[in-house]
Amino acid sequence: MISLATWNIRGMNLTPKQKEVRDVVASNKLCLCALLESHVSIARLSGVCNYVFPTWRWSSNNSVCQISTRIIFGWDPDEVNLMVISMTNQVVHCLVSSVTNDWKFYVSLVYVDNYYIKRRSPWADLHKHKGWIGDHPWVMMGDFNTSLDVDESTASSSCCTLGMREFRECIDNINMMDVNHMGFRYTWNQRPNSMSDILKKIDRVMANDAFISKYTNAYVVFQPYRTSDHCPAVLKVPTTSAKKPKPFKFSNYIATHA
């Protein structure tokens, strides 16, 4: 079993939030963890990551962000190999493979903008990436900042917004679907400390047919909010080592009998 997670825990400059991430990594035995909307400056990036991921390797999309880091991701080098293929300020595309087994698949770590017009760029990027990947197993996970359907929100509106329609069009074009999941239905709480909160499902883990077919028992757990207004999304993928064929053996004394 391998476990990967994405979590929008806005503002990773605070020590309590950094400790929460360390606890999520340890309690779920993660081999890869992506932190979204981190707001960590270049000056503080190394210090924060070395504390949050003390024995791991880490990277970020800081080089393509104008102000502060949007996506930070760390991985356990004893468990997985990670190769960054490309990145924008809203998506990081990786190839993740096992150090000891023969599994590997593509992972896109997503944190898209809250404004629907600025989301058109990552939608186009995902469509382009789909053409590059072809029929290989692919997962995308993170904060998409929009729901797919009207019933994924407790808001009173019953109409599908333009942003939702464009997200649905993107998902249909790249042939992605939600991975089997459990836990919290609504992954974001607009006002966690008020009586008039709005709940939405805007964090997802989605995969293509190749991933679903190869890793049929994979599932996602949307865990409690903790110190964030978003749920951590933990993808669990059962894996088994390839079994070596056993040699054919028999009691050779029977060869003397007719």
Question: Tens digits of per-residue pLDDT, 210-258?
Answer: 999 999 999 999 999 888 999 999 999 998 644 556 777 777 777 787 7
Whether pLDDT at 34 is above 80: yes
Residue 186 CA to its chain's centroid (Å): 17
Q: Write the CATH number for 222.
A: 3.60.10.10
What is the DSSP secondary structure assignment for residue 104, as one 8-state letter? E
For residue 30, give the H/E element and its range: none
Is residue 113 packed enough to be buried (19+ CB in 10 Å), middle (13-18) or exposed (0-12)? middle
Position 195 scores a pLDDT of 56
Cβ atoms of 44 and 69 within 8 Å: the answer is: no
Whether pLDDT at 122 is above 80: yes
What is the DSSP secondary structure assignment for residue 230, as one 8-state letter? B
Q: Would the CA dihedral through 94, 227, 23, 44 be positive or negative?
A: positive
Q: Count of CB atoms within 10 A of residue 198's CB?
A: 14
> What are the C-alpha distances in Å from 119 to residues 35, 72, 123, 217, 220?
19, 19, 6, 31, 24
Position 61 scores a pLDDT of 93
Position 84 scores a pLDDT of 97
Phi and psi at 182, nearest 5°, equal -145, 175
Q: What is the end-to-end Cα distance of the chain in Å, rounded? A: 50
Whether pLDDT at 193 is above 70: no
Number of domains composing the chain: 1
Q: Give the residue among 99, 177, 170, 107 at the shortest CA–CA distance from 136.
A: 107
Q: How confident is the model at residue 192 (pLDDT cuts 50, 70, 90)?
A: low
Whether pLDDT at 28 is above 60: yes
Buried b (16+ CB within 10 A) or exposed e, 213-235: eebeebbbbbbebbebbbbbbbb
Question: Which residue type does 24 have?
Answer: V
For residues 195 and 228, the model is more confident at 228
| Domain of residue 75, residue span | 2-256
Alpha carbon distance 28, 147 (integer Å): 26
